[in-house]
Amino acid sequence: MDADVWNEQVARGYDESSAHMYAPEVLGPAVSFLEHRAGGNPALEFAVGTGRVALPLSACGVRVAGIEKSEPMARELGDKPGGDDVAVTIGDMTTARAPGLFGLVYVVYNSITCLLTQEEQVACFRNAARHLDPGGRFVIEVFVPELQRLPPGETARPFHIGDQHVGFDTYDLVNQWQVSHHYTIADGRGSTFSSPHRYVWPSELDLMGQLAGLELSERWADWKEAPFTASSRSHVSVWQKPLHGPFAR
């Protein structure tokens, strides 16, 4: 991921453009799910951003740290109430090391797809495993690629239509890439933002977990633990580090 995508301007407007993700019915179940999987242990968020999830999780009593490649995004987090309680390591989530070990590592809101190659996504799993205590969990929230809903010959599909924000994705099916385009109107001003992604299938993620020595333990359609089915548009998946064996170290 090019850190220049997440520059000062984007960081300042990020919370506003993602306001729908702060809705209690969206954020509340995510925080509750992660708090339960942390089990009283410290948690580490990859691509912590401006702290949408990290701050309320920290407010629940979980000791939260973060890794973030974009310094402007990390500054936005640090300037918020409670921001000092979340220790952020600046670096790439494929290689950066946060101090200590954790009972939970998590990546939310499709951030795994900001890694634009399969190799980088595998490295992210391995980095998560390095940060986990034996028995610890790695949680990813990510969309299921919308290719079934893409009409033949078309390469674009909307993913959000709201009063202040419209977003759509364009697809490159050969390279397994997509670009998310955001158009936001707030306080009488319009802004645009585009971010590249590599979409990834649940089965592909499971293989990445195996390569990192992690075992799939849960897969849900959402944070409320609805069953995952062939028609699910997203999934929340949990991989666990073994308590014993070569990958437990």
pTM: 0.89
pLDDT band at 53 (very low <50, low <70, confident <90, very high): very high
pLDDT tens digits for 148-172? 888 888 888 888 898 888 999 999 9
Are 140 and 161 within one domain?
Answer: no
Residue 49 sits at φ, ψ, to 5 deg, of 60, -135
Angle between helix axes 118-131 and 202-211 (nearest 10 degrees) is: 50
Do residues 190 and 219 share a domain?
Answer: no
- Work out the mean pLDDT of the chain and round it to a whole number: 92
CATH code where residue 13 lies: 3.40.50.150
Say yes or no: 116 and 180 in one domain: no
Which parts of the chain fold into alpha helices (H)? 8-17, 24-38, 54-59, 71-78, 118-131, 202-211
Mean predicted confidence (pLDDT) in 184-207: 90
Are residues 57 and 84 located together in one domain of the fold? yes
Q: Which residue range is the domain that position 221 belongs to?
A: 3-144+200-248
95-142 tens-digit pLDDT: 999 999 999 999 999 999 999 999 999 999 999 999 999 999 999 999
Backbone angles phi, psi at 215, to 5 degrees: -115, 130
* Statement to judge: residues 156 and 243 lie in one domain: no
Phi, psi of 92, deg, nearest 5: -80, 135
User: How many domains does the chain divide into?
Assistant: 2
Q: Are 136 and 153 contained in the same domain?
A: no
**Mean pLDDT, range 233-247, rounded to an integer:** 89
For residues 190 and 224, membership in a common domain is answered with no
